Structure formats: structure tokens, C-alpha cells
């Protein structure tokens, strides 16, 4: 399916949902299936313009775990929002980044330490150049090979198109 068709179908479904968690869950379900990742490998942030911080919308467990200051130099989400452009990093685990949220167990049945993010794509949720948040898709694993294939430029472009499409619904 072409990305534009995917976006049109997703927008049609989002338009029938009330604002809130139903829309968030719909986006996460569609995106995780489209990129062949687990739901916990999708992150959604909303930008609180008054305090200049990114707050988690998804994963749900991270909503109460903190926020990301827009000024953070170690956060890809903050950089994505500040620069209002998408990013791709297939060597994310070896890059300097804020990893505190990676250490939080996202489910009660998770055993051992959570897997680190190895590869990631990130895109701003913006409307007419005004950033409203960020969406990220990652691949986690104990090492890059176990995390799965590298993200491609085409996947980054697709995520950026999806982000533009869903921004007004979140």
C-alpha cells in the first residue's frame, strides 16, 4: 500500500474517533503494523508550548515517568521538535542519547532489563510548520542484529508523511 493511501485510511478512521486515548491507540496500532515493530517500539510525544517540554502520550506507562525538555541536547525527540525535521539513526545504541526512559519496564510481565533501542526513526508532528509533538519508531534488541533490519530512507520519508497526516488528530 502506498503511504498516501495508508495516511488517507488512517485519517478517515481517526476522524470517527473522539480525541484522546482511542486516537492514540489507533495510531500506535496502525504504525506498529506498518513498520513491523512491537507497540512498545512506537513513541508519541506532545509538545507543551507553555513549559517547552515533550510529554509522552505513548507508551502509556511513560506518561507518568517524566518529560523531555525541548532544550535537551541528548534527546532525539527534542532535536526532532526543535529542528522540525525527521531523523534516522541505525546506530542509536552507540550514539550519545538520553537513555533513562529505556530502563523503565513497560509491561508487568517483562523479565530482566528492558532491551535498548538500537535503531530509530523520528519525525515531527507539525501543522503548517508549527510543531505539536513527535512520533518515533524504533527497533529494540540486545544488539543491532537482533533488533532487526536497518531503517531505510523510504521508511523515514513514510513516517514523516504519516506524522504530517496525524498531527491534527493528536
**Helices 21-34 and 153-166, axial angle in degrees (round to 10):** 160
pLDDT in tens, 39-79: 999 999 999 989 999 999 988 777 777 789 999 989 999 99
Look at the pTM and tell me if it is higher than 0.85: yes
Residues of the domain holding 16 = 3-169
Sheet holding 117-127, edge to edge: 67-69, 53-58, 42-48, 130-140, 117-127, 87-89
pLDDT in tens, 126-142: 999 999 999 999 999 98
Q: Alpha-carbon distance 148 to 110, whole Å?
A: 20
Cell of residue 150, nine digits: 536497518
pLDDT in tens, 92-128: 987 765 554 444 445 556 566 678 899 999 999 999 9
> Domain tally for the chain?
1
Check which CATH number belongs to the domain holding 127 and give it. Answer: 3.30.450.40
Amino acid at each position: 500500500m502506498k503511504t498516501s493511501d495508508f495516511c488517507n485510511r488512517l485519517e478517515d478512521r481517526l476522524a470517527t474517533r473522539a480525541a484522546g486515548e482511542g486516537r492514540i491507540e489507533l495510531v500506535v496500532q496502525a504504525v506498529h503494523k506498518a513498520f513491523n515493530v512491537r507497540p512498545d517500539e512506537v513513541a508519541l510525544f506532545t509538545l507543551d508550548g507553555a513549559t517547552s517540554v515533550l510529554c509522552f502520550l505513548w507508551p502509556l506507562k511513560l506518561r507518568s515517568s517524566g518529560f523531555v525538555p525541548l532544550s535537551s541536547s541528548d534527546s532525539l525527540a527534542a532535536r526532532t521538535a526543535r529542528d522540525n525535521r525527521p531523523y534516522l539513526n541505525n546506530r542509536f545504541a552507540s550514539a550519545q542519547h538520553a537513555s533513562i526512559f529505556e530502563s523503565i519496564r513497560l509491561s508487568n510481565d517483562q523479565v530482566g532489563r528492558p532491551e535498548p533501542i538500537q535503531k530509530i526513526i523520528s519525525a515531527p508532528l507539525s501543522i503548517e510548520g508549527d510543531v505539536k509533538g513527535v512520533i518515533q519508531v524504533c527497533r529494540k534488541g540486545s544488539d543491532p542484529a537482533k533488533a532487526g533490519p536497518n531503517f531505510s530512507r523510504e521508511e523515514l520519508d513514510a513516517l514523516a508523511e504519516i506524522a504530517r497526516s496525524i498531527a491534527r488528530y493528536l
